[in-house]
Amino acid sequence: MALQVGDKAPEIKTVSFQLSKLKGKRVVLFFYPKSDTPGCTKEACEFRDFKKKFDKQETMIVGLSPDKEEAQQKFAVKYGLPYAFVPDPDHAIAEAYGVWKEKSMYGKKYMGIERTTFLVGADGKIAKIFAKVKPEGHAEQVLAALSE
């Protein structure tokens, strides 16, 4: 069953990150398909450019992808991305959030991330879901939702 607004956000626990430890803070979880690709770079850089505004709203930004940690770190350094990244190479987190989907490119079907962002409230529940995200302008859209 797909996650809905009001549901408790599934726990994310890795060696360097644990979602439940952020209770009391709002968290933006943006799932993206692959580090250092055009759309993902645009989306990640927009979150970087608006980070101070997210900080003022006491909201953390976290990027999640099926990339390994090394690829995400390289991506973060290359573009000066000043927020947390969570590797999900076995796509268990993406599956828990319902964003690991069948996709199609040039008639070929494959499994991958459907670009989706979850706004998790300070109470640990999902406050808003942005499905099938278009990278351009998305960070601003999420920022606007924090004021709703």
94 domain-assigned:
yes
Please tell me which residue, 104 or 97, carries the higher pLDDT value: 97
Structural domains in the chain (count): 1
19 domain-assigned:
no
pLDDT of residue 147: 84
Q: How many distinct helices (H) and strands (E) make up the chain?
A: 5, 7
26 domain-assigned:
no
* Strand 26-31 to 59-65 pairing: parallel
- The pTM score is 0.95
Sign of CA dihedral 35, 70, 121, 97: positive
The maximal CA–CA distance of the chain, rounded, in angstroms, is 45
User: Mean pLDDT in the chain?
Assistant: 94
CB 121 within 8 A of CB 128: no
Domain containing 132 equals 31-146
Least Cα distance to 55 among 47, 63, 46, 64 occurs for 47
**Active site residues per annotation:** 40
